[in-house]
Amino acid sequence: MEERFYYRSSDAPAPNVPILPGAAAVIFDAERRILVLKRTRGPYWSLPGGRMELGESAQGCCIREAREETGLTVVVTRLIGLYTDPGSICAYPDGNVHQSYVVGFQCEVVAGDLTVSEESQRFRWIGQEELETLPLLPDNVLMCRDAWLGRPEAAIR
């Protein structure tokens, strides 16, 4: 079984584990394209990110996950938004079904080179016109749109 993501879908299974917060990194290139990665556990693409560990801040999680999944060292430059829609569901091959809870941060690369990992197969830089052409995680689609808007206030979705 592959991982599966649902957004406000009547087909979504009910969550069966406690809510686990996570963080994601929006990294722009010089042309305002956003870095996405092809996930290894299914057909989806995503922003670099993952679940927080005990004793870790949301910013720390974002920085760690970006480094683990991309090989890049980043610094957080702004809060994009908080994505907690109860209709955003993640079903994983181990049978765990999560309600999504993700903090999105804009980040700047300070060191490193793009390197695949256990969680990433390849990378792409996407522009706004490409957003709907990839099977991107639902929360990540919203986060990318909010990042491109560049509003000073954080989105709450």
Domain extent, residue 92, equals: 4-156
Residue 74: give its domain's CATH number: 3.90.79.10
Q: How many domains does the chain have?
A: 1
Tell me: the pLDDT tens digits for 22-50? 999 999 999 999 999 998 888 999 999 99
Confidence at residue 107, expressed as pLDDT on a 0 to 100 scale: 98
Confidence at residue 40, expressed as pLDDT on a 0 to 100 scale: 87
Confidence at residue 153, expressed as pLDDT on a 0 to 100 scale: 96
Q: Alpha-carbon distance 64 to 95, whole Å?
A: 26
β-bridge mates for residue 15, sequence order = none
Whether the CB-CB separation of 73 and 111 falls below 8 Å is answered with yes
* 66 or 2, higher pLDDT: 66
Write down the pTM of the prediction.
0.94
| % of residues, the chain, pLDDT over 90 | 91
